[in-house]
């Protein structure tokens, strides 16, 4: 149902005081990776409201919105919509006028004239693709909605579909040390292609905080709620202790989990330790995806098995200092080494039995750290990609196209643009053929290091014991990646290499039926599979037995 791929829903406004104006910045995430942002302004007066937004997003959205404007009458019905920008590298300029039940759209799309008139229902949601601005007003409209309410949605410029409020629930989000009461609305949008679920989170007064499209791994989050400490599911284990760990020039906020049986143990007892490593795109130390705090749960399981475990906020987010905008994969790997050193310096840690466990692209950081630091005795990669960063970015883009049922011609245009972006980032040449807004999003130290990263080359220099774990139902990083990475590891310097493919497990390391992203929210089991946990714990106990201490 591709119309929901980063769409903007404009609904009738609730009554607002004359002259009221609000402004806000929002970040767009795909698969946890920040790929763009929108700056939104709302001006309300006695004669109606005007919404404007500007922004851009790199692949797979590949859109630039130079100027977007919505006008509403005092009755809450839309009067006009205007867009000037790019979609998939093609220039688009159009205007839609809403009058007497008809939506008339005219303009240019990639130099092709567009002139379409379609009926629309009064009070319908207006959905121009490529942006989220209208969810600001959807949030205000939902403040008075209840489960079962239906709202027609007009998809600019051609069709109208149905949307329905499925559930309304009260939750609490943590922002730094502050707890905020929020409401979460589960919405169902239905067209001929099927159903798409969209979750909208608002403040108690109707301000938009977050939009999530689980089946497409897309999120749109207000900037002050995008950090690691802004989350609804904060996982806690017995033995969890919050700590600040010194890094060069800043501190890293972390949680260390101490085994219960360690309490009261003699100071001479030293235990094995584990560092849990999320990807540079991971904002939460618990690695919460689709409501599953994978690292929070895994830390508890490892602690129960006698390991001291540390998980931490990515630099530049949550309680960690540092600047993420200038960080590379190498910098993030240095943060892993900071965690290893901190553990090695503890009197209750056996410095010869320190393991790093990386999930998804976090495994790349764990690999880099293990290739540079001989204090790391063992490496565990969970659901890790084996492709180069440039190839992996293209692969993930194709998966998004499949989930959205993107037409072939649109796929071709967006794929070509992504390849242009990749080449420009890696070579520093060809930026004159790419919109400046997209360059601003893509031309960063992190993305350059991501595209250039080659797991096979790094694997050559890993001399630790290595375990690779992958779910056979992983539809985000296919199990073939584990097989290729295992081959690369065995061709390198690793002391030993083992591969475990866990049956019936998806990319979130959960028991699953199909493994498809669309079923994440529907799965009854909301936790890391015991088969995954036991595979990791058992391997560590066999590979790094206590006798290795001396």
Cis peptide before 157 (omega within 30 of 0): yes
Average pLDDT over residues 81-86: 91
Higher pLDDT, 183 or 48: 183
Residue at 233 is within a domain = no
The tokens for 18 are: 């004359």
**Total residue count of the chain as it appears in this document:** 550
Distance CA 136, CA 41 (A): 10
Which of 179, 194, 225 marks a domain boundary?
A: 225
What is the percent of the chain with per-residue pLDDT over 70, rounded to a whole number? 90
pLDDT of 42 > 80? The answer is: yes
Beta partners for 195?
A: 190
How does pLDDT run across 285-308, given as a tens digit for each residue?
888 776 778 899 999 999 999 999
Weakest-pLDDT range from 95-109, 169-183, 303-317: 169-183
H-type helices in 405-501, by residue range? 408-427, 436-442, 445-452, 455-459, 480-490
Q: What is the pLDDT of residue 409?
A: 81
Cα 232–Cα 287–Cα 398 angle in degrees, nearest 5 = 110
Examine the domain organization and report whether 421 and 545 are in the same domain: no
User: Are 168 and 66 in a shared domain?
Assistant: yes
Strand ranges, E, within 1-100: 21-30, 33-45, 48-57, 63-73, 78-87, 90-99
Domain that holds residue 430: 390-446
How do residues 319-367 score in pLDDT, each as one tens digit?
788 888 789 999 999 999 999 999 999 999 999 999 999 999 999 999 9
Distances (CA, A) of 479 to 65, 92, 393, 484: 37, 39, 17, 9
Residues 285 and 169 in one domain: no
**Mean predicted confidence (pLDDT) in 518-546:** 90
Model confidence at 505, in pLDDT bands (50, 70, 90)?
very high
How far is the CA of 431 from the CAs of 86, 156, 438, 442, 526, in angstroms? 16, 31, 10, 11, 44
CATH number at residue 344: 3.40.50.1820
Average pLDDT along the chain: 85
Q: Is residue 235 part of a domain?
A: no
> What percentage of the chain reaches a pLDDT higher than 90?
48
The answer on 331 and 214 residing in a single domain is no
Residues 136 and 211 in one domain: yes
| 397-432 per-position pLDDT tens digit | 898 888 777 788 888 888 898 999 999 999 999 999
**Residue 15 above 50 pLDDT?**
no
pLDDT band for 494, please (50, 70, 90 cuts).
very high
370 and 416 part of one domain: no
Residue 65 has pLDDT above 50, yes or no: yes
For residue 459, the model assigns a pLDDT of: 96
Q: Which of 74-78, 263-267, 376-380 has the highest mean pLDDT?
A: 376-380
487 and 525 co-located in one domain: yes
Domain count, the chain: 3
**Residue (of 368, 413, 412, 410) closest to 389 by Cα position:** 368
Nearest to 536 by CA among 370, 371, 302: 302
pLDDT-based confidence at residue 113 (cuts at 50, 70, 90): very high
pLDDT at 192 over 50: yes
442 and 482 within one domain: no
Same domain, 49 and 84: yes
Q: Are residues 33 and 178 in the same domain?
A: yes
**What local confidence, expressed as pLDDT, does residue 233 receive?**
46
DSSP letter, residue 231? B
Does residue 231 fall inside a structural domain? no
Same-domain status, 442 and 383: no
């Amino acid at each position: 149902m591709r119309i929901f791929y980063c769409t903007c829903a404009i609904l009738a406004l609730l009554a607002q005081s004359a002259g009221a104006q609000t402004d806000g910045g929002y970040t767009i995430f795909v698969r946890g990776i920040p790929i763009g942002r929108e700056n939104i302004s709302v001006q309300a007066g006695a004669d109606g409201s005007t919404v404007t937004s500007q922004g851009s997003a790199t692949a797979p959205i590949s859109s630039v919105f130079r100027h977007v404007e919505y006008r509403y009458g005092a009755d809450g019905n839309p009067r006009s919509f205007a867009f000037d920008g790019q979609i998939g590298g093609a220039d688009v300029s159009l205007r839609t006028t809403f009058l007497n039940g008809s939506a008339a759209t005219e303009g240019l799309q990639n130099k092709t004239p567009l002139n379409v008139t379609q009926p629309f229902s009064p009070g319908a949601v207006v959905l121009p693709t490529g942006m989220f601005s209208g969810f600001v007003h959807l949030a205000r409209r939902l403040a008075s909605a209840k489960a079962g309410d239906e709202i027609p949605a007009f998809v600019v410029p051609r069709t109208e579909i149905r949307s329905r409020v499925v559930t309304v629930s009260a939750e609490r989000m943590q922002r730094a040390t502050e707890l905020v009461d929020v409401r979460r609305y589960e919405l169902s949008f239905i067209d001929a292609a099927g159903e798409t679920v969209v979750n909208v989170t608002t403040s108690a007064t109707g301000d938009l905080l977050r939009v999530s499209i689980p089946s497409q791994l897309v999120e749109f989050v207000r900037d002050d709620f995008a950090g690691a400490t802004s989350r609804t599911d904060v996982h806690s284990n017995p033995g969890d202790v919050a700590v600040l760990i010194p890094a060069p020039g800043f501190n890293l906020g972390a949680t260390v989990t101490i085994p219960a049986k360690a309490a009261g143990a003699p100071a001479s007892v030293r235990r094995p330790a584990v560092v849990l490593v999320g990807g540079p795109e991971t904002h939460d130390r618990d690695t919460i995806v689709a409501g599953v705090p994978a690292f929070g749960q895994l830390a508890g399981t490892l602690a129960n098995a006698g390991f001291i475990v540390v998980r931490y906020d990515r630099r530049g987010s949550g309680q960690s200092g540092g600047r993420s905008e200038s960080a590379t994969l190498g910098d993030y790997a240095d943060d892993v080494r900071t965690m290893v050193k901190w553990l090695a310096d503890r009197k209750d840690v056996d410095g010869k039995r320190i393991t790093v466990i990386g999930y998804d692209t976090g495994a790349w950081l764990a690999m880099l750290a293990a290739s540079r630091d001989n204090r790391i005795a063992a490496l565990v990669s969970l659901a890790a990609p084996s492709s180069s960063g440039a190839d992996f970015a293209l692969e993930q883009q194709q998966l998004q196209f499949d989930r959205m049922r993107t037409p072939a011609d649109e796929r071709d245009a967006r794929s070509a643009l992504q390849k242009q972006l990749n080449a420009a980032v890696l070579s520093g040449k060809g930026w004159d053929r790419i919109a400046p807004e997209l360059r601003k999003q893509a031309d960063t130290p992190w993305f350059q290091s991501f595209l250039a990263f080659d797991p096979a080359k790094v694997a050559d220099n890993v001399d630790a014991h290595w375990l690779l774990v992958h779910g056979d139902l992983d539809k985000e990083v296919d199990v073939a990646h584990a097989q290729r990475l295992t081959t690369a590891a065995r061709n390198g310097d690793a002391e030993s290499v083992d591969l475990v493919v866990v049956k019936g497990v998806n990319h979130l390391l959960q028991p699953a039926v199909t493994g498809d992203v669309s079923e994440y929210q529907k799965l009854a089991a909301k936790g890391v599979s015991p088969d995954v946990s036991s595979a990791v714990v058992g391997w560590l106990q066999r590979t790094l037995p206590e006798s290795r201490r001396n």
